[in-house]
Amino acid sequence: MNAFENKRILIIGFVWPEPKSSAAGSRMMQLISFFKENGAEITFASTAAKSEFSEDLEGVDRKFITLNCSSFDDFVMNLQPDLVLFDRFMTEEQFGWRVKEHCPNAIRILDTEDLHCLREARRLAILKNKPFELNNDLAMREIASIFRCDVTLMVSEFEMELLQTHFKVPSFLLFYLPIWVENTSLNLPRFEERTDFVFIGNFLHAPNHDAVVYLKEVIWPLLFEKFPEAKMNVYGAYPTQKINSLHQPKLNFYVYGRAESSFEVISKARVLLAPIRFGAGIKGKLLEAMQFGTPSVTSTIGAEAMNGDFLWNGYISDSPDDFAEKAIELYQNKTIWEQAQQNGFEIIKNRFSKNIFEDSFLEMIKDKFENLENYRERNFIGSMLMHHFLQSTKYMAKWIEEKNKV
């Protein structure tokens, strides 16, 4: 018998997943596939509009839902899910109290993608020159959401530690589940068959936007001066006017927009460059670079929580001059490049293979089903926050709903 046979799972998506646009979309498709493989009946619901790049979600019931509307109450009461997965804390804020009220026995799981309050604190420190302040307004909301849920899926061990030490979140409310890689055998080009540098990322994601601007304006002039044969190819969904304006063929800096296949553009490149100055979670582009045998140069924040005790598949540098020098060295030196490639394969094998996590993930959910009330009794802060949040949000939502009728 499959682990989730006869179990109904409701996923409330912040957006409809676009796995070809972002790591977040790939992560969501992994979770959906995992639940399907284990026999669950899945319903995916979202307030967002679909785009032409949204996944079809074959074999999954789909539902458009509305904010501040009692129609969701009727929907969730009829569905009576056994488990509800909230895609980022904003969806838990919007619908968590309704799930609690109408499906009190459903397990509530939050998938953070990354720790938003950490990313925001770093963004303000870099772009606004503000002091790093982790106890920001976003943290008040995000940590409260984590406490209100029965378990939160974390992609970063660094962030799990931060939640436990800084915010005093109990360990039983957290579960480490990074983006994983299926064990697949890929026919990868050799060193001699690859050319150019590459960057890929969704430009709706602020860290990606900033990284490419920083790469073009600060790092690339240093690199191009020392290595004028170098060519930089930038790919990414939803490029802004600013990103498109960085396209300068005279400087061998090319902006191409959305890539049909991340495998095609990353595996053909010799080195991936990702000078990420702020952000959180783990970086899908760097994980794919390892998977596709492409060494990388990135920042400390870019590599955060990814390689553990293993050597990076390239170089980690926060200095523009050093970053440029390391990129050239990695590009030109076959011996260093091949060792870096092997380092990436070791990281994938030992830290991100699907078989490392699937059994423990199943066991964790099984344990939650069997001992849900015991866990909730241990989480008094979560019960208290849910009680007050339900009361305040419920009546605010009803007021908005009535106002919208006028």
User: What would the mean pLDDT of 355-364 be, rounded to a whole number?
Assistant: 96
Class of CATH domain 191-352: alpha beta
Q: Are 251 and 222 in contact (CB under 8 A)?
A: no
Find the helix packing angle between 137-148 and 380-405, rounded to 10°.
110
Residues 6+ apart with CB under 8 A from 273: 197, 198, 199, 215, 219, 232, 296, 297, 298, 323, 327
What is the structure's pLDDT at 389? 79
352-376: average pLDDT: 96
Is 244 a residue whose pLDDT tops 60? yes
Helices vs strands, H then E, count in the chain: 16, 13
In DSSP terms, 233 is beta-bridged to: 198, 254
Classify residue 399 as exposed, middle or buried by CB count within 10 Å of its CB (0-12, 13-18, 19+): exposed
The reported pLDDT for the residue numbered 5 is 85
The sheet with strand 232-235 has its strands ordered as 253-257, 232-235, 197-200, 271-274, 296-298, 314-316
Name residues whose C-beta falls within 8 Å of residue 326's C-beta, 6 or more positions apart in sequence: 297, 314, 315, 317
CA distances from 242 to 217, 286, 353 (A): 12, 24, 37
| Distance between CA atoms of residues 179 and 283, nearest Å | 9
Residues in the chain: 406
CA distance 370 to 398: 34
pLDDT, mean over the chain: 95
Quote the CA–CA distance of 287 and 34 in Å, as a whole number.
19
Residues of CATH 3.40.50.2000 domain(s) within the chain?
A: 8-180+354-405, 191-352
Q: Give per-residue pLDDT as tens, 260-293.
A: 999 999 999 999 999 999 999 999 999 999 999 9
pLDDT over threshold 70, residue 34: yes
Q: Is the pLDDT of residue 166 over 60?
A: yes
Summarize the chain as % helix, strand, coil (round to 5): 50, 15, 35
Q: Give the pLDDT mean for 225-236.
A: 98
pLDDT-derived band at 346 (thresholds 50, 70, 90) equals very high
Q: What's the CA gap between 295 and 191, in Å, rounded?
A: 10
Kindly tell me if the per-residue pLDDT of 397 is higher than 90.
no
Coil, strand or helix at 224: helix
CB-count exposure of residue 241 (10 Å: 0-12, 13-18, 19+): exposed
What's phi and psi for 35, nearest 5 deg?
Answer: -65, -40
The HSE-up count of residue 386 (CA atoms within 13 Å, CB side) is: 21
Asked if pLDDT for residue 183 goes beyond 80, the answer is no
**Average pLDDT estimate for 319-327:** 98
Does 1 have pLDDT greater than 60?
Answer: no
The pLDDT of residue 222 is 98
Question: What is the reported pLDDT for 387?
Answer: 84
Residue 302 clears pLDDT 90, i.e. is over it: yes
What's the confidence (pLDDT) of residue 395?
A: 65
Flag whether pLDDT at 398 surpasses 90.
no
Query: What distance in Å separates the CA atoms of residue 113 and residue 362, rounded to the nearest whole number?
Result: 19
Report strand pairing: 107-111 vs 151-154.
parallel
Token pair recorded at residue 288: 């794919």
Mean pLDDT of 74-83: 98
Other C-beta atoms closer than 10 Å to the C-beta of 356 total: 15
Tens of pLDDT along 87-142?
999 999 999 999 999 999 999 999 998 999 999 999 999 999 999 999 999 999 99
- 62 close to 37: Cβ distance less than 8 angstroms: no
| pLDDT for the residue numbered 182 | 82
How much is the pLDDT for 388?
Answer: 82
What tokens appear for 87 in the block? 């895609």
Give per-residue pLDDT as tens, 117-130: 999 999 999 999 99
Is residue 330 within 8 Å of 336, Cβ to Cβ?
Answer: yes
| CATH code for the domain defined by 8-180+354-405 | 3.40.50.2000
Pairing of strands 197-200, 174-176: unpaired
β partners of residue 253: 232, 248
Q: Is the pLDDT of residue 77 over 70?
A: yes
